[in-house]
Amino acid sequence: MIEDTAVQAKEETAAESLSTRRSSSCSSSSGSGGGGDVELGGEVVGWSSYDDDAEQRLLWETKIVVRICLFEGDNGSIDQVSDVYVSVSRHEYLYQTVFEKVIPLWRHVLPSSASRTPWLEYGMLPLKWDLPCGVLHDLHCGNDDGCSSNSIWTVVAHFSNFPSTILPPFDVKESLRNHVFHSMKEASHVRMGSASRIMNMSHAAQDALWHAIRQGSYDEYAKVYGTLGFESHDGILAAVERVPVRIIVCRGAALTMNSSYEDVYISSRSMNDGSVKDCVYDIARAWMMMKKNKTIAEKNEESGMTGVQIQVGGIGMHGTEPLSYLWRTMHAPDGFLYIYVH
Amino acid sequence: MITYSEFKASIAYLLEQDLEGWFPNGHATWTWCEHGDDILVCMAGYLKIKHTILDSCVQCTEYHVCYSPIYQNPVLYMISYDQHGNPINMLDDPDGILQHAIRDHQVTVSQESHPSTHQPCLYQLHPCNTDDIIASIVSDDHGDTGVARYMLAWMSAVQCGLAPTAAVASRLLSE
């Protein structure tokens, strides 16, 4: 983290680095996970348990550079407050990063009346605290040149007037951790029919897992996650028959200055394995038709969604990628595969 | 587990019954709320029960019985309002229904956004143990009788002031 100095954003975007890595290890043989070639982002790649680990690591190590500015009205000093630049993994939670790394730097300038509960804003919209940073970035930036994956994303931190009609209450010490473990229970229930593996975790294991997520450390995370038994111990991946998915559908490429969360549909689902397009298109299309106030007859006449894009992990999908493969390589630490449709 | 259609049918059956006297005090209104007509998007219909207690500092508690596509079970959201219509912190009252449920029945509670209306400040009772609880009450009967009585069983077991009085439960079970 560097305070108020220019930062070189990652030259290689997530899509480029993932695509480069896959091109160099392209294989036509089937991997230990079963199946054969899969088409990802327009490229044919092989897939195996080894590649799953490598791809997961790559996503964890892909960073988004965020510039955090203090809302002027919450500056209790007469001095100008320096902006803070942080490099955040797609899988980290931005609110947690701000709480741990930014607030300590601003503590001396926040007025005594300021809440210690921050909320973040981009484009006049409060950022949801319960979405991973990468998902927030996709949702709010999209094709916005001001915060594309090759530039710095600027968000504003507020310490007053929490938007309680838009965001659920946020306690910096409890809310995110509880939300992540709650999500993990849901994901476990989808995959294994039971949330017991998460519910029966020791406090030490939970602390270690949460620490790994807070630090954006894939090695730490994999070490604890591997003990939960979602994958068999002989290296053979357990079949992924049902996939925990969070579908995010947005009208338009991304939320803009004039948008509201009425333009976004977020739903957690348990989905049968299949191509990502088959799994999410019907739901996304149904919601978009509903937002357009189409009658059922009009919906049935519509031939489909042209120009609609599917993104996972910030990478555009061709649509034929198997959901199970995407989950194994790109699921978030909370156990869900986030699919962004716009 | 039940499907969304079974959930909706079970609530429809419940709403056809005489629910007078469900709560031991105050009065309640029962409403099925639905947003949109597409089931793919709108596994989002829910039962809203507004329970108003007179002569109390807590004027009104709303129970929203929603469907969880993840757990394929009902999930309860709650919110209470004071006499001025302002939401109150239900966890602040050590003798309140939420703290009672947490303390005596090991219920897990968190504040979440409503899955249908996105109202951000409701208390959700985590549904991960629902199957075990319901299995101890009803058989795995997905016939008409099982589905119809599912919501009655669920509300009796959910431990947050939503259980019917003995008289109402007896009347409904005899029908």
Its sign, for the CA torsion A166, B81, B78, A172, is positive
Do B131 and B2 touch, CB atoms closer than 8 A? no
Q: Residue A267: enclosing H or E segment and its boundaries?
A: strand A264-272
For A110, the token pair is 């926040």
The ipTM is 0.79
Say whether residue B120 is in contact with chain A using an 8 A CB cutoff: yes
Give the whole-angstrom CA distance, residue B148 versus residue B134.
Answer: 14
> How high is the pLDDT of residue A26?
31
Give the whole-angstrom CA distance, residue A327 versus residue A125.
Answer: 29
DSSP 3-state percent helix, strand, coil across chain B (nearest 5): 30, 25, 45
Q: Which residues of A touch B120 (CB under 8 A)?
A: 164-169
d(CA A1, nearest CA chain B) in Å: 32
Residue of B nearest to A267 (CA): B115
Beta-sheet strand order (sheet of A119-122) = A2-3, A84-89, A63-70, A153-158, A119-122, A125-126
Residue of B nearest to A286 (CA): B41
Residue of B nearest to A247 (CA): B41
Say whether residue B112 is in contact with chain A using an 8 A CB cutoff: yes
Query: Picking from A23-37, A182-196, A249-263, A269-283, which range would have the lowest pLDDT averaged per residue?
Result: A23-37
With an 8 Å Cβ cutoff, are B112 and A168 in contact? yes
Q: What is the pTM of this model?
A: 0.82
With an 8 Å Cβ cutoff, are A166 and B120 in contact? yes
Say whether residue B91 is in contact with chain A using an 8 A CB cutoff: no
Q: Which of A175, A268, A287 sits opposite B41 (nearest CB)?
A: A287
Q: Which residues of A touch B72 (CB under 8 A)?
A: 270
Terminal Cα-to-Cα distance of chain A (whole angstroms): 32
Give the whole-angstrom CA distance, residue A320 versus residue A297.
Answer: 28
Residues 253 through 312 of chain A touching chain B, CB cutoff 8 Å: 261, 265, 267-270, 282-283, 286-287, 289-290, 296, 299
| B83-93 confidence digits (pLDDT tens) | 888 888 787 77
Give the whole-angstrom CA distance, residue A193 versus residue B163.
Answer: 27
| A284-332 confidence digits (pLDDT tens) | 777 777 777 655 555 555 545 566 788 999 899 988 999 999 998 999 9
| B124-167 confidence digits (pLDDT tens) | 777 666 666 666 555 555 555 666 678 888 888 877 778 888 88
Kindly state the average pLDDT of the residues A100-129.
Answer: 87
> How high is the pLDDT of residue A288?
75
* Closest-CA residue to A245 (of A326, A317, A177): A326
Query: Has residue A68 got a pLDDT over 90?
Result: yes
